[in-house]
């Protein structure tokens, strides 16, 4: 799990970048759990059960949104601010804040720290990674501030100036970081604003911007100067647009006559709710219609969208849009009889295909295992278990109501699943197996055949 170095007869252990990321997230989660368990963090002044505090902290740092106690009614202002800071740290990554502090103190960023940042941002190389980190923070805070001001115009008339501004800021940070935490209270999420155009469009925009990845966002912002987009950016933007549009059409058709979701809304409300239902499974976790009252087909469509998730290097989870797109295009290449996967007249190296396949298979295995465990330790329906497992792994935060009914073992399972989902299944695997770089075997076995299909 680590590199062992011997200097002057003394053994030292240096963790690999992926291991530093995994341990760093765990440390932040533990600190958050301790703070949230304090009496000052709850409204009634009593300590919060540590497992519930740990659950909330994990959900916040992993930008998920699943909660066992209601954020708006259980936690005090101090507790809510702690949650918001945990969301911001989890969304941007603790290495971003560590870099900022180091630069403020005048410290140089070492090569090892740059490698950790490269892993955190999922970039191809370490060149300009520090500049990217600072650029990301500037973009993030600017977008969140704009989102907060727009949302405040809707919250101030309802809650007053100070509370309205605070609500605007909290929900802007939560939306951009794809966290899904809300302060509305009583586990309502954004259902009271199902037909509010400003809140819907603002939250959706923040979710999408936060979910396309910081590298892609940088390319889009600089497009007017460069007049070019990388293949990765084209894939992410294409996949994102397709999933949002096709998902919205799917929800519109599946829920059109369902009176418990969008059936009783006017046409504007139906369109807004359908779009929101398509955007939010991209690991955001907000909902404007009752998820538990959706049709079975609508719930399953949500599960599919949750599993795919957001894009690499973003605040979201899932197997990522580029992974799903690459696997789809690989299938197309196989069907067409092509030897290589081709995307936008570019040939993709087989190592990326193998990596995408590994991520998808590991993720599917984790979701399947968690679903089976939940079916043993919980009481409910299969669709609830699968929905909860996928939501936790993809760091989405949507639920059919199972979260508040979780047993102690169920809570622990979901906590571990959220952590694995945020850090990344492949990152966890590499951190344990210490196989960050592919090694070339000196032995090549003879080729043979097996029957497929």
Q: What pLDDT is recorded for position 115?
A: 54
Nearest to 281 by CA among 122, 393, 406: 393
Taking the model in full, what pTM does it have? 0.87
Give the rounded percent of residues in the chain with a pLDDT score beyond 90: 62
Nearest to 360 by CA among 394, 315, 398: 394
What is the average pLDDT value for the chain, to the nearest integer? Answer: 86
Q: What pLDDT is recorded for position 426?
A: 54
Nearest to 291 by CA among 180, 406, 210, 148: 180
63 vs 434: which has the higher pLDDT: 63
Nearest to 343 by CA among 206, 202, 230, 262: 230
323 vs 130: which has the higher pLDDT: 323
Q: What pLDDT is recorded for position 16?
A: 61
Mean pLDDT of 427-452: 63
Cβ atoms of 186 and 72 closer than 8 Å = yes
pLDDT tens by residue, 313-335:
777 789 999 999 999 999 999 99
Mean pLDDT of 297-307: 96
CB-based contacts of 47, cutoff 8 Å, min separation 6: 37, 38, 39
pLDDT interval class at 101 (50, 70, 90)? low
pLDDT tens by residue, 332-360:
999 999 989 999 989 999 988 988 898 89
Nearest to 71 by CA among 60, 62, 59, 80: 80
Lowest mean pLDDT among 207-221, 266-280, 283-297: 207-221
Mean pLDDT of 418-424: 86
pLDDT at 203 over 60: yes
Q: What pLDDT is recorded for position 104?
A: 54
How far, in Å, CA of 417 to CA of 237, rounded? 28
How far, in Å, CA of 10 to CA of 343, rounded? 51
pLDDT at 1 over 50: no
pLDDT at 25 over 70: yes
Q: What pLDDT is recorded for position 11?
A: 44
Q: What pLDDT is recorded for position 55?
A: 97
89 vs 121: which has the higher pLDDT: 89
Q: What pLDDT is recorded for position 404?
A: 92
Angle subtended by helix axes 214-221 and 231-255, to nearest 10: 100
Cβ atoms of 115 and 16 closer than 8 Å = no
* DSSP-derived secondary structure letter, 438: P
pLDDT at 93 over 50: yes
Q: Is the dihedral of CA 305, 307, 308, 310 positive or negative?
A: positive
Map residue 402 onto helix, strand or coil. coil
Give the rounded percent of residues in the chain with a pLDDT score beyond 70: 82
pLDDT interval class at 297 (50, 70, 90)? very high
pLDDT at 106 over 70: no
pLDDT tens by residue, 8-24:
444 434 566 566 667 77
**202: burial class by Cβ within 10 Å (0-12, 13-18, 19+)?**
buried
pLDDT interval class at 2 (50, 70, 90)? very low
Q: What pLDDT is recorded for position 436?
A: 44
pLDDT tens by residue, 147-183:
999 999 999 999 999 999 999 999 999 999 999 999 9
pLDDT at 371 over 90: yes
How far, in Å, CA of 114 to CA of 99, rounded? 9
How far, in Å, CA of 47 to CA of 45, rounded? 7
Q: What pLDDT is recorded for position 7?
A: 41
Q: What pLDDT is recorded for position 429?
A: 53
pLDDT at 4 over 80: no
Q: What pLDDT is recorded for position 441?
A: 60
Burial annotation 38-53 (CB, 10 A radius, 16+ → b, else e): eeebbeeeeebeebbb
Mean pLDDT of 279-300: 93
pLDDT at 228 over 80: yes
């Amino acid at each position: 799990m680590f590199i062992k170095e011997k200097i002057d007869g003394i053994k030292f252990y240096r963790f690999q970048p992926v291991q530093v990321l995994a341990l760093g997230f765990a440390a932040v989660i533990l600190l958050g759990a301790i703070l949230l368990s304090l009496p000052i963090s709850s409204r009634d002044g009593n300590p919060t059960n540590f497992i519930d505090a740990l659950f909330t902290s994990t959900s916040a740092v992993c930008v998920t949104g699943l909660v066992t106690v209601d954020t708006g009614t259980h936690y005090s202002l101090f507790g809510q601010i702690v949650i918001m800071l945990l969301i911001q740290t989890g969304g941007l990554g603790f290495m971003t804040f560590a870099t900022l502090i180091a630069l403020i103190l005048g410290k140089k960023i070492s090569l090892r720290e740059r490698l950790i940042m490269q892993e955190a941002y999922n970039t191809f190389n370490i060149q300009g990674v520090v500049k990217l980190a600072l650029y990301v923070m500037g973009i993030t805070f600017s977008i969140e501030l704009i989102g907060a001001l727009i949302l405040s115009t809707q919250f101030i008339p309802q809650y007053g100036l100070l509370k309205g501004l605070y609500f605007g800021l909290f929900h802007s940070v939560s939306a951009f970081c794809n966290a899904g935490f809300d302060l509305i209270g009583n586990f309502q999420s954004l259902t009271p604003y199902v037909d509010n155009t400003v809140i819907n469009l603002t939250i959706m925009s923040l979710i999408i911007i936060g979910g396309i990845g910081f590298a892609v966002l940088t390319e889009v912002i600089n497009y007017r100067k460069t007049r070019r987009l990388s293949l990765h950016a084209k894939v992410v933007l294409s996949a994102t647009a397709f999933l949002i549009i096709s998902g919205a059409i799917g929800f519109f058709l599946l829920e059109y006559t369902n009176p418990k979701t969008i059936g009783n809304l006017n046409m504007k409300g139906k369109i807004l709710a359908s779009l929101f239902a398509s955007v939010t499974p991209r690991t955001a976790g907000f909902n404007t219609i009752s998820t538990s009252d959706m049709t079975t087909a609508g719930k399953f469509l949500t599960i599919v969208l949750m599993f795919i998730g957001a894009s690499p290097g973003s605040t979201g989870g899932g197997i990522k849009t580029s992974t799903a797109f690459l696997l789809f295009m690989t299938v197309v290449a196989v069907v067409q009889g092509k030897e290589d996967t081709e995307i936008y007249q570019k040939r993709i190296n087989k190592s990326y295909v193998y990596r995408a396949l590994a991520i998808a298979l590991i993720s599917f295995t984790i979701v399947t295992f968690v679903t089976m465990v939940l079916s043993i330790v919980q009481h409910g329906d299969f669709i609830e278990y699968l929905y909860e497992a996928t939501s936790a792994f993809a760091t989405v935060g949507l639920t059919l109501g199972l979260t508040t009914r979780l047993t102690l073992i169920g809570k622990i399972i979901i906590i571990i699943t959220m952590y694995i989902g945020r850090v990344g299944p492949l990152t966890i695997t590499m951190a344990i197996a210490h196989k960050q770089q592919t090694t070339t075997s000196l032995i090549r076995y003879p080729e043979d055949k097996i029957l497929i299909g």
